[in-house]
Amino acid sequence: MSGSVEMEVQSDDSPMPAAPKSWMRNAMERSGPFCLPDFDHRPGALHSVLGQIQVLVVGAGGLGCELLKDLALMGFSQLHVIDMDTIDLSNLNRQFLFRRNDIGRSKAEVAANFINKRIPGVNVTPHFCKIQDKDEDFYRQFHVVVCGLDSVPARRWMNGMLHSLIEYDDDNTPIAGTNIPLVDGGTEGLKGNARVILTGISACIECTLGLYPPQVTYPLCTIANTPRLPEHCIEYVKIIQWPKENPYQCEIDGDDPAHLCWIHEKSVERASHFGITGVDYKLVQGVVKNIIPAVASTNASIAAVCANEVFKLATGVCKPLNDYVVLNQSDGVYTFAFANEKREDCLVCGRKANILNIKEDAKLEELISKLCQDDGARMKNPGLTTNVNGKQMTLYIATVPSIERQTRPNLKKTLTELGLVNGAEIVVADETSPMSMTFKLNFN
């Protein structure tokens, strides 16, 4: 395990020695019953492999800092890290690559500089941007992708991107080298999990959405037109009213009391207009910041598991995890591993047509709600287009204000009123996936 590497405690600015490799050589220079068929145990193979493998770490937060440290100390020298966030004060208690004078700077850049300075021979390349800002060619260069994210939609997007890169042969089997493995870790308080996804082969993120707790998200058409909960009012101010009025000429800072007070005031006004009660400052803070509890020891444990799986995938020294492990430290320490079943009708990795069962007299807003439900596709703000009588038709797009206004009347129309028939195909785009998905309607 990566946690077995011993480090001498040093001052912040002193370089760390190269990671000891004796334990790794013991594992790498002899074969064993759990090695993969292509395992190379010749002397010197370890250094060659770890020096050539390109690894992408997604996220430079609590898990990401641990992952970068573990992978660098294991000998991986070609690392990339991507993160869109900047450092704030609340990060410093567990994201140990950052210091107080780093507040306001890019997490990816600071983390990369720290590792490059402290561990000789390691080259970490930072990318200060959203994962959605990178194209297919960027992700295609990596041999393994390891995620330390706190967002299910971001996981789903990355899962969709890696599956979109797969090329299949005539037997519908992924062509070797085009299916990039995904190692995913997640923590919440004293609980954590890790998994290995052999893209195109094993169950993917989309196959197992039921493993994740329901996401507190609301369709944009609901919060814009028919709010029913205090959270709807807060989300409206956060997503629509803030960008429109731009009160402080900047993006929302969840740690700035002035920003939170403005959102609270506007949310109360909107709630009053729709007769909704229950909007208070604490609720506003929770919705805006989407606070997830974090414990440093849980991050360290899950990152160690993920780094160990990356090492196994890169070297073939042992079969990778099959395919999910949970850790619970709430009452003692408990861990359990199991295999998820691949869904043939999965929206991402399944090779079958996506069927959407719905009533013939259902309204378009009901169809959108179905796509967003926990037992559906769990989308956030889907945009829908179709083809009616040979003409392209936009049914509803919530994320573009001008189109949203034009297509809003469609929400109250039935599917038949919109010209849709049984078997009609609807193309759906959503921020949870880099790919648009095609659904075939089945009236029941």
Catalytically active residues are 221
Pairing of strands 191-197, 437-443: unpaired
Point out which residues pair with 442 in neighbouring strands: 357
Say how far apart CA 309 and CA 320 lie, in whole Å: 6
Residue whose pair of structure tokens reads 């378009």 in the numeric block: 364
| 329: its two tokens | 């430290």
From residue 433, how far is each of 86, 374, 404, 441 by CA, in Å? Answer: 24, 16, 20, 20
Say how far apart CA 415 and CA 358 lie, in whole Å: 10
> Which backbone phi and psi does 67 adopt, to 5 degrees?
-65, -45
Whether 69 contacts 118, CB under 8 Å: no
Establish how many alpha carbons lie within 13 A of residue 331's alpha carbon, considering only the half-sphere containing its beta carbon. 0
Residue whose pair of structure tokens reads 């011993």 in the numeric block: 6
Say how far apart CA 251 and CA 403 lie, in whole Å: 24
3-state secondary structure 280-343: CHHHHHHHHHCCCCECHHHHHHHHHHHHHHHHHHHHCCCCCCCCEEEEECCCCCEEEEECCCCC
Establish how many alpha carbons lie within 13 A of residue 332's alpha carbon, considering only the half-sphere containing its beta carbon. 2
- 419's CB contacts (< 8 A; 6+ apart) are 388, 389, 393
